[in-house]
Amino acid sequence: MSAAEAHAPSTGLVLPPEHEPPRRLLQLRRAEAWRLLKAHAATGDLRIARPLADLARSAPDDAASVLADPIASVLARCGRHDDAADAWALELARRGALPGRYEVRGRRVANLALGAIFSGARMTLSSRAIDVDGRTVALDAIAPEQFVALRPGIRFATYDANPLAMVEAHPDKQGNALSLGGRDPHEWIASLREALAIVERHLPELVDEMRALSMVLVPVGYEPEKHLSASYREYVGACYLTLHPDVRTMAEAIVHEFQHNKANLASYHDALLENALGTMVRSPVRPDLRPIWGVLLAVHAFVPVAELYRRMLAAGDVRIQSRLADVIARNDEGLRTVREHARPTRIGAALIDELEALHATHLALDLAKPAGVSWEA
């Protein structure tokens, strides 16, 4: 039995059971899809709500995939209803599920699966085709340019649809503007593929979850001395990352931010804490006081990071031992803070129990915490 299997039952929000599909995440994705559909129908725009509802009745899994598309859904959550409808219509057209013709309201519409952005003064969608200013383009003939596949269902983006990208909560950052940081795109792609290979080798169940959410990795610069990353509650499926020369740091950042994505998705459907934003505490990973929800988010991200490093160490990578010891020590501090100050709901208590059970397997390694090791969140 592995360390990850040693704690049960699983909430599906820490690490899914090994060798099983990510059932809880797929349940949440479907619930969020129906929430988005109802919210869009409530705006009165039935041009796209009606065909989406028809698809939900005939092929619910397909409808959930369309509605949960990261680009369309972030626009919907940010109140950009026309832009969200355009993105959903493009995905329906790509699948051959768009009835009739659809006049795009905006001047730009993007699609992850196509890897493309279309811009024009007048655009019309139909089944598997788009007309851009009088020129008809077959959607099945598009060559991906803006979104590059790193793994099936996981993409590197050089376009960001997030209206909130420059909204920043971290005191040491100024937003998340898309930037390659002066590095070649091929360097980014090679680094991210290598980082994902590390995660897939040691936490394959997490990569399955990433595919389920159609994960998008957005570049936000190059930082050779430290690493910065971010995610947004509204942009489920997206991770903002700086490029770092150590691929292990990139692997850690991917795991960390993806865990935030899972918590963000769950937050639309499961209250985890009764005092999520009302209790301010000292954080083990930030210089500013944080709501207790922020500390729970931190340990929810870094306990799986510790599990990644534990498995890497068990596989013979002794270089990460000091980093693992530091992460374990910080997790211990964070979990104590959560236990002392959080008022969890029933599912929140189960989540904390699951985190502590996995953390206990890390404490059992009895690694000495090194002095002077930095720990960024």
Structure confidence by residue, pLDDT tens digits, 1-60: 344 444 445 788 999 888 888 999 999 999 999 999 999 999 988 999 999 999 999 999
- Whether residues 283 and 329 share a domain: the answer is yes
Q: Same domain for 101 and 230?
A: no
328/302 same-domain check: yes
For 93-139, the pLDDT digits (tens) are 999 999 999 999 999 999 999 999 999 999 999 999 999 999 999 99
Residue 225 domain-assigned (yes or no):
yes
Of 376, 234, 362, the C-alpha closest to 307 is 362
Residue 376 lies in a domain: no
Query: 150-184 pLDDT, tens per residue?
Result: 999 999 999 999 999 877 665 566 679 999 999 99
In a domain, 80, yes or no: yes
Establish if 30 belongs to a structural domain: yes
Domain annotation covers residue 5: no
Q: Are residues 102 and 160 in the same domain?
A: no
Does residue 84 sit in the same domain as residue 204? no
Q: Are residues 122 and 24 in the same domain?
A: yes
Please give the DSSP secondary-structure letter assigned to residue 103.
Answer: E
User: 349 and 228 share a domain?
Assistant: yes
pTM, entire model: 0.92
**Can you tell me which residue has the tokens 């979990």?**
335
Q: What is the pLDDT of residues 251-307, one digit of tens each?
A: 999 999 999 999 999 999 999 999 999 889 877 766 778 899 999 999 999 999 999
**Range of the structural domain that residue 254 is part of:** 148-363
Structure tokens given for 70: 């990261």
Residue 314, token pair as written in the block: 């068990």
**How many distinct structural domains can be found in the chain?**
2
Q: Measured between alpha carbons, how far is 154 from 173 in angstroms, rounded to an integer? A: 26
The answer to the question of residue 371 being in a domain is: no
Q: E-strand spans in 212-252?
A: 216-222, 229-230, 238-243
CB 257 within 8 A of CB 251: no
Which of 111, 142, 173 terminates a domain? The answer is 142
Phi and psi torsions of 166, nearest 5°: -95, 5
Q: Where does a domain end: 142, 157, 181?
A: 142
The contacts of residue 88 (CB under 8 Å, 6+ apart) are 48, 52, 66, 67, 69, 72
**Residue 296 and residue 181 share a domain:** yes
Decide which of 142, 175, 199 is a domain's last residue. 142
Residues in CB range of 182: below 8 A, 6 or more apart: 222
Report yes or no on 6 lying in a domain: no
Q: Which two tokens stand for residue 304?
A: 């799986």
221 and 163 inside one domain: yes
Whether residue 208 is contained in a domain is answered as yes
Residues 117 and 186 in one domain: no
Residues 178 and 316 in one domain: yes
Are 280 and 315 in a shared domain?
A: yes
